[in-house]
Amino acid sequence: MKDYRNVPIEVLRDFTRTQTEITSIRSVADEVGLGRSTLHKFILGRTNPQPRVRRLLGLWYLDKVEKAHDIDVARPYAAALQILLSEIPQERRRAAENEVLDALAQTHSQSGATPPRWLELLRPEQG
């Protein structure tokens, strides 16, 4: 079982924001078990969640992420990759992305960990 504490806050924030855009803040707050204003402040980045709230958000995320659309899962990681490689010239950027993603996949493999879904979604078809 995955540990909710390993989900980065910005991933939780982005995913939660997307889910509220699909349904509503009230609906997601009810699902998570939080107050509407608490969730709204978290989405806007006005607060960092207290441990109890972090736990509720993390457990909800782990339950929902497997059913989420691919774009909702990969978006924060794709954005992070773009930021990390922003100084690489455009003509070299795709190759650099592949190198970083391959290194991450190799690290997961060597540690015996299953690659996360977002990594599989961002990596080009292997074959």
Would you state the pLDDT for residue 23?
87
Residues 53 and 80 in one domain: no
pLDDT band (50, 70, 90) for residue 126: low
Residues 9 and 43 in one domain: yes
Domain count, the chain: 2
What's 86's DSSP letter? Answer: T
Which among 18, 23, 25, 28 has a CA at the least distance from the CA of 57?
Answer: 28
Give backbone dihedrals phi and psi of 46, rounded to 5 degrees, phi first. -80, -20
Identity at 41, one-letter amino acid code: K
Which residues have CB under 8 Å from 120's CB, separation 6+?
A: none
Domain range for 85 is 71-122
Residues 110 and 78 in one domain: yes
- How far apart (Å, rounded) are the C-alpha atoms in residues 71 and 4? 20
pTM: 0.62
- How far apart (Å, rounded) are the C-alpha atoms in residues 101 and 81? 9
pLDDT tens digits along 62-78: 988 877 778 778 888 88
Residues 11 and 64 in one domain: yes
pLDDT band (50, 70, 90) for residue 79: confident
To which H or E segment does residue 7 belong? none
Which among 50, 36, 39 has a CA at the least distance from the CA of 15?
Answer: 39
Would you state the pLDDT for residue 72?
78
